[in-house]
Amino acid sequence: MFKGSNVALVTPFKNNKLDEETYIKLIHFHIKNGTNGLVPAGTTGESPTLNHNEHEKVIELCVKESNGKLPVFAGTGSNSTEEAISLTTHAEKIGADGALIVTPYYNKPTQEGLYQHYKSINDSCGIPIIIYNIPGRSVIDMTVDTMARLFELKNIIGVKDATGDLDRVKQTLEKLGKDFIQLTGNDDNALEFNRRGGVGAISVTANIAPMLCSKFQKYSVDSDDNSKKEAEKLDNILQPLHHAMFVESNPSPVKYAAKLLKLCDDDVRLPLVKVTDKTKEIVKKALETSNLL
């Protein structure tokens, strides 16, 4: 089961090229520091500006270096169904454990269009698929009813919910049951998300605080009083970090934080740019408050 703290991996660049050496170090950093799963080539991995070969290479390196130690759910979504199928079948071929597939952005398909998009990908592969529902970036919002239809298919296993609507968690649980995996895509609501039926997160903050995020996730799904207290304590520590990571467009802030922690450089690809001096101070203060710097 894909649960707990799963990192939405950044893609490090050097001179605007994929920095393979640093990327490999990042993967092993997460293996050693409690991360529960790896998600390469997602939004945080700057997938919109990776060319096709780079996209596949990022996934291949992650699968190879993780070597079965952690599950790899590859970001293989696209607003072209054909391209999403190509990326997903490639991920399956090279050994990814599953795929994270974002709802098609810009096209604005209907709910039936969403269903047919995911069904086509489902019918073309044999690995588990997690739906990535993020209306803030893709404009469209997949309904619970559409997810219920998709859950009847062989490969659809869950959702990364970045709607920010906590009521959706209970609605989804009631309609689809506990076997449908619910992961939050919003670090800041992870505590309440799990209390309502979620089982983890695909996290931006985990890039820089993997151990804290992993411990938080572990405690947040336990029901005993001590675990609840520990989860709340860790959530309070993590909230300033969560906030700082989204002061500007993701992943610019988290890459700057990673630079301060000597994990990777803060280079991003246009149209993204490095964070402002004001944001740098916010990020630095959040790292200091969390005792990471």
Positions annotated as catalytic residues are 132, 160
- With beta carbons less than 8 A apart as the criterion, state whether 59 and 41 touch: yes
Helices (H), 139-205: 144-151, 167-176, 190-195
- Which residues in 165-178 are b (16+ Cβ under 10 Å) and which e? ebebbebbbeebee
Which of 203, 185, 196, 184 is closest to 221 using CA atoms? 196
CA distance 74 to 62: 9
Q: Which residues contact 56 (CB under 8 A, 6 or more apart)?
A: 87, 90, 94
Which of 176, 179, 186 is closest to 150 using CA atoms? 176
Which of 256, 255, 257, 259 is closest to 238 using CA atoms? 257
Structure-block tokens of residue 34: 């409690």
Q: Which residues contact 43 (CB under 8 A, 6 or more apart)?
A: 8, 75, 102, 134, 137, 250, 251
